Amino acid sequence: MNDDFKVTPWEVTGEIDYDQLITRFGTKKIDREMLDRLSGYGELHPMLRRSVVYSQRDLGWLLDLYDKGQKFFLYTGRGPSGGTHLGHLMPWIFTKYLQDLFHVNLYFQMTDDEKYLFNENLSLDDTRRAAYDNALDFIALGFDPEKTKIVIDTEQIKLLYPLALKVAKRVTFSTAKAVFGFDNSNNIGSIFYTSMQAAPCFIEDALYGKNTPCLIPCGIDQDAHFRVARDVAPLLGYHKPALIHNKMFPGLTGNDKMSSSQPLTTIFTTDKPREVKKKIGNAFTGGQASVDEQRKLGGRPEVCSVFKYQYFLFEKDDRALDDLSERCRKGEILCGECKQLLTQRINEFLEEHQRKREEAKERLHEFMLPPTC
């Protein structure tokens, strides 16, 4: 068994065994039965069909309530440390699907405090600026402002702080150390931080005085925060938040997670077509060393970052995806052609996204909760 990998909210390293994470964290796999159930609400998203979104906590319980007429709300977020890349967009796109499927409210937390506390090199000004910048990418995905609110931690602190305090009072230092691996060298803000990420799980109590169930679509790397939140919730008289987890969006180097700290192998939402072409051109593939070998032996889509991009995000048609993978294995398509296809897809997507991103500049206010509410 491959044990040599790490997945925490602040560090993802090694080759991730996603099934093993389910065991480590104690979550549930999204099985056939759950997929069948979900398909009763509308067409399954490709991320569900392909197990990109693959794990959950208490999703059945949440759907039982929903079926009886009890609405839940969605909660997800972003740690604004710099520009938005494709890996950030992936769970937000899935969140949009969930909102469209269930017609429920959505709260999007911008943790400018988190990124300030956990990054030596970022000032609070940097992370707050990044929060407003990243909000444009979020809005550009087409969320309904009537149902969707962005919560920036340092701005909406008056709303969040009482909730965070209630959580903080019930989490001991030894729990924080055990769950997050803190030691005596961590600053005290980072030890408190998990209570800020837990706070929006209960936000409709603060806003409307209602104990509304909450569903959190997020990367599996964020699970630790919500294990803590789920333990505390019943002590506060709240429902435990339910979760639906996605796998990490791969990097172009063949690693398991796209990371902004490697700008040359990361595709940002503001990249120009030229930059995308260059980055994809340099991407790690599953191809052979020479054209002859590739024709003879075929490529390996399962390790190829170019194929993974189609699989995770860009090729929505399952048939077309299978066909691409087959042609690769048989050596019928070479990496150059595949890269060109992907570059074109990404650039078409980004052209539209960048246009909507510009429009979003005029619409920020529609999505913000008033700072003093």
| Nearest C-alpha neighbor of 221 from the set 4, 3, 8, 5 | 8
* DSSP category for residue 357: H
By the criterion CB under 6 A, which residues form the site for ligand TRP?
9, 75-79, 109, 111, 114, 197, 216, 218, 222
Buried b (16+ CB within 10 A) or exposed e, 335-370: beebbebbbebbbebbeebbeebeebeeeeeebbbe
- At its nearest, how many Å lie between ligand TRP and the CB of residue 9? 6
State the Cα–Cα distance between residues 247 and 20, nearest whole angstrom. 12
| Nearest C-alpha neighbor of 287 from the set 231, 327, 230, 229 | 327
* DSSP category for residue 85: B
Distance, CA of 52 to chain centre:
11
- At its nearest, how many Å lie between ligand TRP and the CB of residue 107? 9
Buried b (16+ CB within 10 A) or exposed e, 133-145: bbbbbbbbbebee
- At its nearest, how many Å lie between ligand TRP and the CB of residue 76? 4
CB atoms within 10 A of CB 31: 11
State the Cα–Cα distance between residues 2 and 139, nearest whole angstrom. 39
195/294 with CB nearer ligand TRP: 195
- At its nearest, how many Å lie between ligand TRP and the CB of residue 260? 11
State the Cα–Cα distance between residues 36 and 254, nearest whole angstrom. 32
State the Cα–Cα distance between residues 257 and 158, nearest whole angstrom. 34
175/260 with CB nearer ligand TRP: 260
Length of the chain as a residue count: 373
Q: Which helix (H) or strand (E) holds 57?
A: strand 53-57
- At its nearest, how many Å lie between ligand TRP and the CB of residue 197? 5
Q: What is the dihedral of CA 267, 269, 272, 276, to 10 degrees?
A: 20
- At its nearest, how many Å lie between ligand TRP and the CB of residue 152? 11
